[in-house]
Amino acid sequence: MNETNSLYIAIAGNPNSGKSTLFNELTGLRQKVANYPGKTVEKHVGVLQDDPDGNIRVIDLPGTYSLNPHSPDEEIAHDVLMGWSDDTPRPGLIVAVVDASNLERNLFLVTQLLSLGIPVVVALNMMDACRASGIEIDVVKLEQRLGVPVVPTVGSRREGTAELKARILSTLKQPSVPRSVVQIPDAAAREVDRLAAHLQAHELAAAESAHGEALRAICTENSFSHPRFAAARDPLKTTILAARDSLAQAGFAWYAIEAEAGYQWIETLMAEVRNVREARLTFGERADYWLTHRIVGPAFLGLIVLMIFVSIFALAKPPMDWIKHLFGYLAVLVVNTIPAGPLQSLLTDGVITGVGGIMVFLPQIMMLFFFIAILEDSGYTARAALIMDRIMGRVGLHGRAFIPLFSSFACAVPGVMATRMIDNARDRLLTIFVAPFMCCSARWPVYLLLAGAVIPNTIVLGFIPLPAIVLVSMILLGIVAAVATAALFNKTILKGVTSTPAMELPRYRRPRLRMVLQTMWERSLLFVKKAGTVILAMSIIMWALTNYPHRPDAAPDQQIKQSFAGTVGRVIEPVISPIGFDWRIGVSILSSFVAREVFVSSMATIYGTNMSDPHRAADLQAHLRSELDPETGLPFFTPLRALSIMIFYVLSMQCVSTIAVVRRETNSWKWTLFQLGYMTGLAWIACFVLWQGGRLLGWS
Amino acid sequence: METSKTTSLDHLGVGRSARIVQMDLRPMEAQRLMEMGLTVGTRVTLVRRAPLRYPIIIQARGSHLTLRKAVARSIRIQLTGP
């Protein structure tokens, strides 16, 4: 496929209008997913099926309510349609997908698309839902009034897609530029003319698109800040602000002109093309009565969350064991085929332990992606957000943050990726910031090891074992830290940045298995790629640091002590000893950057326990209990010291995968490193207060 | 006269309808609401409230939208029929 000579067709439409299903129907399996360069928005491109030449490309734009962008996703859709995108040429045709059952609102974007000077074909989608709610639409009349082809479709049942392809191809053969249907007030039209002349005079727009660009520039708040205007920014800004001022003097608000004129035109149109036979309560409206009910709603949400957790922890266990065994088998294979030496050690202790340690979480992560995709595709996430919004809003989080955050209880990686369901950049950032505080499954082995080894197994309140209380406290501490952090940042760094004022409750629909599996597959693949690159590299580095300089005849614990990592551990000891850690704990914590639970195997190596034999896991706990403090001669791993380590794991961002995914999703090293610094700092301070305070009170 | 009384959207009863008369919001917030169909003069119906009273669910131009308390309070409405 030749990238540059291809003709692009853009699929544009409101969120939840069924764009993606139609995109799949138009392109079949010949599509690829990537990110827009420098953005965290997915770009779906495919090749139009049934096209004789095979060089027509179809791009599925992010859902957008209007051409005045209010989120990163909408900015992308806007830039592609305006021809301002760096990597996508201006489309030669737009397929405007509208939800027929929500026609009035969906047509607003269409009125804007008609003013771009690009041929448009309208797909009147979800005709089935429209009929089901008792609404008839006069398609012939609609086509006449819009002046562009209108094809009724039901994307999910493949109805009308052949017709849609045919109309796309015939329109491409004889392209005709649609005329704008909406008349903006004269005062505004005059300002658009004037600005269009300015844009042309400064060679910022071509003659045929200058009017469309001028209207966009007046109606989009910071239009003059777009990089494409960098050279001519100041005079342009002055001209645009002057245009808005004279509009205000004529009694018009610049930000309202388009919407008011647009909806006025649409209202007249609707009276002509829509016929409500009998307004029926749809299935979704009846379901919503219960799913957002005062008592049933939250109870149902709780049930869903519980079900997902049970599935993740119960159903994912067998495949996790298989992966563990697979890596165990690989290790045996390596030991049997490669003679003992550095290469064998690198493969078994470095690559297999490191990559295997993180890959065991793959089944959990895939299942989470699966459930999140179902929740998103069915429309339920908006209801969950509605139920949780007020509570989460107290600390500045959006209701939509609920699903990413509860996902983070299994693993922060899918949690952070799921923040894409939050369309507002500020809300997304705040959610990403607090997600790693949730108690992920990689923390459990650390807590279980320490609590089991040193927390006295006494019974509290008659029936609760003390270690269990400690575990629950660690989970709660994570939640408290997340809430406090959100509240703090909401009032400081992210203060005054607005959230989206309204959220749509989309119609329910049956989750489409193909979309669900596709989303799960794409996101899991991203994770596996990360494991194959960043984590592999990190595992090899950690292996090298603990095995070199190599002392062939030293015992494992002596080898580590004299290795680079041991040296680093002893160098940082002055920093970590105020929180109760010695160099060995320091080394284990550093090595657990690959994955938190690697802490356990590192401790095992240092204490010379063979962890590959599960029966000897208890050995390590016994070792820890018998370890004596060289200064006092008393047990080294006191409950206070164990608590300090656990709290460190609650609060610190000790995970390469999370750091990598945050970097990817924020697209900023600055934010990523700030988060790493903040969490590590917070962990250190909390442990310092605990350790020093505890010792003052004589607990140690 | 009862029909000319204006109030804010958060005071609309469940199942009742009203017309938008004014929005006291920042330009970009107002613009987004208008693009989603909430222009001045639009008839809105309060469908339901979230379990904790807010956000509210309104219906306008055939779509269901949820609004937080602060936003609902900034929208002035004029009560119309039931």
Confidence (pLDDT) at A1: 40
Angle at the Cα of B72 from the Cα atoms of B68 and B73, rounded to 5 degrees: 120
User: pLDDT tens, A642-693?
Assistant: 999 999 999 999 898 899 999 988 989 999 999 999 999 999 999 999 999 9
Q: Using pLDDT thresholds of 50, 70 and 90, give the confidence band for residue A611.
A: very low
Which residues sit opposite A34 in a β-bridge? A43
Q: Note whether B63 contacts A105, CB cutoff 8 Å.
A: yes
Taking a C-beta distance cutoff of 8 angstroms, is the pair A597, A446 a contact? yes
> In this structure, what token pair is assigned to residue A264?
């006025």
Residue A272 CB neighbour total at 10 angstroms = 12
Q: What is the DSSP string of A371-392?
A: HHHHHHHHTHHHHHHHHHHHHH
Separation between Cα atoms, residue A230 and residue A225, nearest integer Å: 7
* Model pTM score: 0.86
Calculate the alpha carbon distances from A116 to A152, A452, A644 in Å.
23, 66, 61
Q: What is the DSSP letter of A577?
A: G
Separation between Cα atoms, residue A366 and residue A452, nearest integer Å: 30
Confidence (pLDDT) at A598: 82
DSSP, collapsed to helix, strand or coil, labels residue B46 as strand
**Range from A262-276, A331-345, A639-653 carrying the lowest mean pLDDT:** A331-345
**The three-state (H, E, C) secondary structure of A543-558, written as one string:** HHHHHCCCCCCCCHHH
Chain B touched by A287 (CB under 8 Å): no
Confidence (pLDDT) at A206: 82
Q: Using pLDDT thresholds of 50, 70 and 90, give the confidence band for residue A54.
A: confident
What are the residue ranges in chain B where pLDDT is below 70? 1-4, 81-82
- The one-letter code for the residue type at A125 is N
Q: Note whether B63 contacts A504, CB cutoff 8 Å.
A: yes
Which residues have C-beta within 8 Å of that of residue A545, sequence separation ≥ 6? A563, A564, A565, A568
Separation between Cα atoms, residue A536 and residue A516, nearest integer Å: 29
Q: What is the mean pLDDT of residues A629-636?
A: 83
Q: What is the mean pLDDT of residues A491-515?
A: 83
Taking a C-beta distance cutoff of 8 angstroms, is the pair A298, A402 a contact? no
Residue A91 CB neighbour total at 10 angstroms = 24
Confidence (pLDDT) at B54: 93
Which residues sit opposite A137 in a β-bridge? A274
- pLDDT higher than 90, residue A432: yes
Separation between Cα atoms, residue A691 and residue A560, nearest integer Å: 26
Q: Using pLDDT thresholds of 50, 70 and 90, give the confidence band for residue A255.
A: very high
Q: Note whether A386 contacts B50, CB cutoff 8 Å.
A: yes
Which residues sit opposite A204 in a β-bridge? none
- pLDDT higher than 80, residue A310: yes
A-chain residues near B68 (CB < 8 A): 389, 393, 501
B2-79: CATH class: mainly beta
Beta strands per DSSP E along A107-186? 120-125, 135-137, 150-152
Separation between Cα atoms, residue A308 and residue B11, nearest integer Å: 38
Q: Note whether B66 contacts A297, CB cutoff 8 Å.
A: no
The dihedral region occupied by A67, where left means phi > 0, alpha psi between -120 and 50, and beta the remainder, is alpha
DSSP, collapsed to helix, strand or coil, labels residue A569 as helix
Taking a C-beta distance cutoff of 8 angstroms, is the pair A453, A445 a contact? no
Q: Which of A108, A221, A387 is the closest to B27 by Cβ?
A: A221
Residue A58 burial (10 A CB sphere; 0-12, 13-18, 19+): buried
- pLDDT higher than 50, residue A464: yes
**Range from A106-120, A137-151, A601-615 carrying the lowest mean pLDDT:** A601-615
Separation between Cα atoms, residue A141 and residue A153, nearest integer Å: 17
Separation between Cα atoms, residue B23 and residue A427, nearest integer Å: 23
The nearest alpha carbon in chain B to A112 belongs to: B35
Average pLDDT, chain A: 88
Give the architecture (CATH level 2) of A7-173.
Answer: 3-Layer(aba) Sandwich (3.40)
Which residues have C-beta within 8 Å of that of residue A367, sequence separation ≥ 6? A311, A312, A315, A316
Confidence (pLDDT) at B1: 43
Distance from CA of A119 to the nearest CA of B (A): 23
Q: Using pLDDT thresholds of 50, 70 and 90, give the confidence band for residue A349.
A: confident
- pLDDT higher than 50, residue A488: yes
Separation between Cα atoms, residue A648 and residue A474, nearest integer Å: 10
Q: What is the mean pLDDT of residues A420-440?
A: 91
Residue A491 CB neighbour total at 10 angstroms = 12
Q: Note whether B30 contacts A255, CB cutoff 8 Å.
A: yes
Q: Which of A495-504, A625-634, B3-12, B24-33 has the highest mean pLDDT?
A: B24-33
Choose between A685 and A308: higher pLDDT.
Answer: A685
Confidence (pLDDT) at A609: 56
Distance from CA of B19 to the nearest CA of A (A): 15
Chain B touched by A391 (CB under 8 Å): yes
Separation between Cα atoms, residue A172 and residue A7, nearest integer Å: 10
The nearest alpha carbon in chain A to B63 belongs to: A102
The nearest alpha carbon in chain B to A256 belongs to: B31
Confidence (pLDDT) at A617: 56
Confidence (pLDDT) at A2: 42
Return the domain boundaries, chain B: 2-79
A-chain residues near B26 (CB < 8 A): 498
Find, among A364, A368, A333, A362, the residue nearest to A347 by Cα: A333
**Range from A98-112, A622-636, A664-678 carrying the lowest mean pLDDT:** A622-636
Chain B touched by A297 (CB under 8 Å): yes
Q: E strand or H helix at A678, and its extent?
A: helix A669-696
Strands B43-49 and B17-23, how do they pair? antiparallel
Taking a C-beta distance cutoff of 8 angstroms, is the pair A692, A646 a contact? no
Return the domain boundaries, chain A: 7-173, 186-251, 281-315+362-440
Confidence (pLDDT) at B66: 95
> In this structure, what token pair is assigned to residue A232?
């001519």
- pLDDT higher than 60, residue A4: no
The nearest alpha carbon in chain A to B29 belongs to: A501
Confidence (pLDDT) at A614: 47
> In this structure, what token pair is assigned to residue A437?
């505080």
Phi, psi of A31, deg, nearest 5: -145, 160
Q: What is the mean pLDDT of residues A441-461?
A: 87
Chain B touched by A101 (CB under 8 Å): yes
Q: Note whether A105 contacts B26, CB cutoff 8 Å.
A: no
Chain B touched by A241 (CB under 8 Å): no
Angle at the Cα of A525 from the Cα atoms of A522 and A531, rounded to 5 degrees: 150
The nearest alpha carbon in chain B to A135 belongs to: B62
Q: Using pLDDT thresholds of 50, 70 and 90, give the confidence band for residue A193.
A: very high
Confidence (pLDDT) at A242: 93
Cis amide leading into A549 (omega within 30): yes
Confidence (pLDDT) at B3: 52
Q: Which of B25, B48, B65 is the closest to A503 by Cβ?
A: B65
Find, among A257, A281, A137, the residue nearest to A189 by Cα: A257
> In this structure, what token pair is assigned to residue A260?
């008011």
Calculate the alpha carbon distances from A644 to A450, A451, A647 in Å.
10, 11, 5
- pLDDT higher than 80, residue A556: no
Q: What is the DSSP letter of A36?
A: P
Q: Note whether A504 contacts B37, CB cutoff 8 Å.
A: no
Find, among A63, A31, A32, A62, the residue nearest to A49 by Cα: A31
Confidence (pLDDT) at B4: 64
